[in-house]
Amino acid sequence: MQWLGRLSIKSKLIVMLLTVSSCSILVTAYLGYRSGQSNLTDRVFSQLTSLRSSKAYQIESYFKTVRNHIQTLSEDPTIVDATNEFSGAYRQLETVQVSTVFNQKLTAYYRDEFLPKLATAEQGSPLLNSFLPDNPASDYLQYHYIAANPNSIGKKDALNAASDGSQYSRTHARYHPIFRNIIKKFGYYDMFLINPQGTIVYTVYKETDFTSNLTTGPYSETNLARLVAQVRRANETNYARMIDFEGYTPSYGAPATFIAAPIFDQSKFIGVLAVQLPVDEINNVMTGNRNWESDGLGKTGETYLVGQDYLMRSVSRFLVETPEEYLETLRSLGVKEPTITRIGQYKTSILEQKVRTQGVEEALTGKQGTQIIRDYRNVPVLSSYAPLKIGELDWVILSEIDLAEAYAPIQSFQRQLLISATLLMLLVTLLAMGLAYLFVKPINQLIQNARKVEAGQLDAIAPLDTDDEFGELARSFNAMVRSLRAQTSLVEEKNQENEQLLLSIFPAAIAKRLKRGEKNIAESVSNVAVLFSDLTGFSKLSDSLSAYETVGILNDLVSAFDEAAERYGMEKIKTIGDSYMAVCGLSVPYLDYDKRAIDFALEMLTIVRRFNHERGFHLNVSVGINSGDTVAGIVGRNKFIYDVWGNTINVASALKSVCPPGAILVSEEVHNHLYDLYEFEPVEAAMLENGKGPLKAWRLRSIQSPNRTEA
């Protein structure tokens, strides 16, 4: 033990380096982990961005191809001739007599097949009459091609022509196989021919929108109706327009998006060609035909679309792969049960899953980038996002993978790193523990004494007597403690004197600011009440007393005023002879600053009455009160004072000057604030002048004068 006390500080520092080596091990391990994590993150983000760009190109190309195809198809002579012929055949049926049997069977189809299925998808109970056709041609065609169609729902397109012998059925037999072949080859959900009046004169799949009028019919509020109206208004060639997903009633509320183009015969507008785009085609592009893992998205990655309304425009991978777990996750996140029911019923998250993540927010503002965020399942993910360019559709695309899966390799590396670092640190610790104890023992003694000094125990002396640097440090420390003890005592004494002096001159808040070192203190303050008072009868009294007695009496009164001011939240600004000035709301804001000033004034009158009663004097006090805005600050350099200025001060001073002894005069503003709490009586304006014209004043009533003979 003694040989250690004779070692130099350099030898002891060598021992300390053993401890520092442990820190080096930790830092090296941490930097290695962070470097690996950063490299892995960059690689995953690059992969997600590449996949996002690929999917964005595919989906943009798909919509561009569809747009070009619809434009081309609308100019095809077959489409032009079919539109003319279907429109003409439809007009021929507008005067047809529809039998009661036809109407009954059509009504039965709506009541027994269409409406029950629609009711499961929409809230409420759909009304039968709001969906039934409203003209003979629609009744006739819907009966033959929907109600009397022997094929089941979803397969009505299998009927090439009804056996009614009408011109419409002959036209339908000629064109329907062609159009059915077109939508199957190009993967469309349905195709519509719409006449200039907005009536759908032909569809492939014969849903209930067949022969309905998109201007006045039951589907006039659908996105297809709005799209057709836009195309009809445009009246342009080489024109095609798309509309975003919405629930489409004829498809039993399933999400539907459409693209439409005008049809011209020469230069004559004869109708609109519209196509209902399939949801499955968009999902196949975004899911890679459900081959997420082969696309490099692992077990939790996905690429999906989101619209401007923050709702999905493609299906969630988790709904496809684990629907029960996905729906349970939505319940745990507080998603409403009707939404969860619709997702389960339609087996799609399009227009149902809300995705308002940071990535979507950024992409909708036109930005693209990568971030670690929480996705719509509230799960941390690595996300790559960007806006899409699809004409009228304001969509964004996101490619994401769960953070846990992306960081799985780094987690394995982290475990190996921690094991190696732990073993090495154990070895270093065992070597250093024994020497470290001996090395830090004198330091601990000094630290303990330093803490005692820090806590205010200035009698702490370090009992360390060695011949090395620590012994010298202990002796210096003890000398410093003794010196500090003496200096602290002196400083405390001076501080107390200075603090008492500041508090006797300035308000407490201003004194604190001066103690903090502020020099230029000036501020504009609103909503303050200013009180000026004069002690009447004191000058006459002082003529009969000695200077010592005069000062003593005045000091007693002012001290009583000061104590009352503190109780009411008033700050004394100054006294000039027998005048007293105080302000409420200057340093500390009060909502009832006017009331506090009046209550303080009443207390001053009480103090003077009590003083007169106790000592047999005939003193009185006049008080003027005003409220408003003021300017306050420190004035002077060597000899400075705290003062307030402004018209609010001038008015209060003027009120005090004309106030009768034992009375309280308040300004118009104070009266307006407190007339419901106190009783006032007006004072003639001619009595008050402040150099700028007459002043309105009010006298507080029911206040007895301390000296009745002077009142």
Report the CATH number that the domain containing residue 249 is assigned in CATH: 3.30.450.20
Does residue 183 belong to any structural domain of this protein? yes
> Using CA of residue 289, residue 295, residue 298, residue 302, what is the dihedral sign?
negative
Confidence of residue 453 (pLDDT cuts 50, 70, 90): low
What does each C-alpha distance from 584 to 128, 540, 635 come to in angstroms?
Answer: 74, 31, 20
Among the candidates 226, 246, 277, a domain finishes at 277
β-bridge pairing 302-306 and 396-402: antiparallel
Q: Which position has the higher pLDDT, 195 or 423?
A: 195
585 and 491: one domain?
no
Dig out the tokens for 675 from the structure: 């007339």
Does residue 12 belong to any structural domain of this protein? no
Q: What is the tally of structural domains in the chain? A: 3
- Name the percent of the chain lying above pLDDT 90: 49
Q: Specify burial of residue 114 (Cβ count, 10 A radius: 0-12, 13-18, 19+).
A: buried
The least confident of 119-123, 281-285, 386-390 is 119-123
- Name the percent of the chain lying above pLDDT 70: 82
566 and 675: one domain?
yes
548 and 614: one domain?
yes
Confidence of residue 355 (pLDDT cuts 50, 70, 90): very high
134 and 249: one domain?
yes
DSSP string, 669-682: HHHHHHTTTS-EEE
Q: Per-residue pLDDT averaged across 378-386, rounded?
A: 94
> Using CA of residue 193, residue 195, residue 196, residue 197, what is the dihedral sign?
negative
CB 228 within 8 A of CB 200: no
Report whether pLDDT(356) > 50. yes
Residue 552 is predicted with a pLDDT of 86
Q: Per-residue pLDDT averaged across 593-617, rounded?
A: 92
Q: Per-residue pLDDT averaged across 661-669, rounded?
A: 92
Dig out the tokens for 694 from the structure: 């007459």
588 and 500: one domain?
no
Q: Per-residue pLDDT averaged across 66-81, rounded?
A: 94
Q: What is the dihedral of CA 65, 68, 71, 74, to 10 degrees?
A: -50
Does residue 667 belong to any structural domain of this protein? yes
In whole angstroms, give the CA distance from residue 155 to residue 206: 9
Does residue 209 belong to any structural domain of this protein? yes
496 and 562: one domain?
no
Among the candidates 259, 277, 295, a domain finishes at 277
Per-residue pLDDT reduced to its tens digit, 423-438: 777 777 777 666 666 6
Residue 478 is predicted with a pLDDT of 72
In whole angstroms, give the CA distance from residue 419 to residue 415: 6
Q: Per-residue pLDDT averaged across 502-506, rounded?
A: 59
Does residue 258 belong to any structural domain of this protein? yes
The least confident of 134-143, 241-250, 509-518 is 509-518
In whole angstroms, give the CA distance from residue 171 to residue 192: 15
Strands (E), 462-569: 522-536
Does residue 526 belong to any structural domain of this protein? yes
Q: What angle do CA 647, 652, 658 make, to 5 degrees?
A: 125
Q: Which position has the higher pLDDT, 267 or 481?
A: 267
**Residue with tokens 């561009």, as numbered in its chain:** 64
518 and 492: one domain?
no
Q: What is the dihedral of CA 443, 447, 450, 455, to 10 degrees?
A: -170
In whole angstroms, give the CA distance from residue 163 to residue 346: 35
CB 191 within 8 A of CB 197: no
pTM: 0.57
478 and 596: one domain?
no
Does residue 41 belong to any structural domain of this protein? no
Domain ranges, residue 499:
456-505
262 and 128: one domain?
yes
565 and 615: one domain?
yes
> Domain with 559 in it: what CATH number?
3.30.70.1230
Dig out the tokens for 376 from the structure: 């719509």
Among the candidates 262, 277, 292, a domain finishes at 277
Report whether pLDDT(183) > 90. yes
In whole angstroms, give the CA distance from residue 204 to residue 626: 86
Does residue 609 belong to any structural domain of this protein? yes
553 and 497: one domain?
no
Report whether pLDDT(3) > 60. no
Q: Specify burial of residue 467 (Cβ count, 10 A radius: 0-12, 13-18, 19+).
A: exposed
Confidence of residue 580 (pLDDT cuts 50, 70, 90): very high
Confidence of residue 174 (pLDDT cuts 50, 70, 90): very high
- Phi first, then psi, for residue 72 (nearest 5°) are -65, -45
586: DSSP letter: S
469 and 588: one domain?
no
Q: What is the mean pLDDT of the chain?
A: 84
In whole angstroms, give the CA distance from residue 216 to residue 198: 9
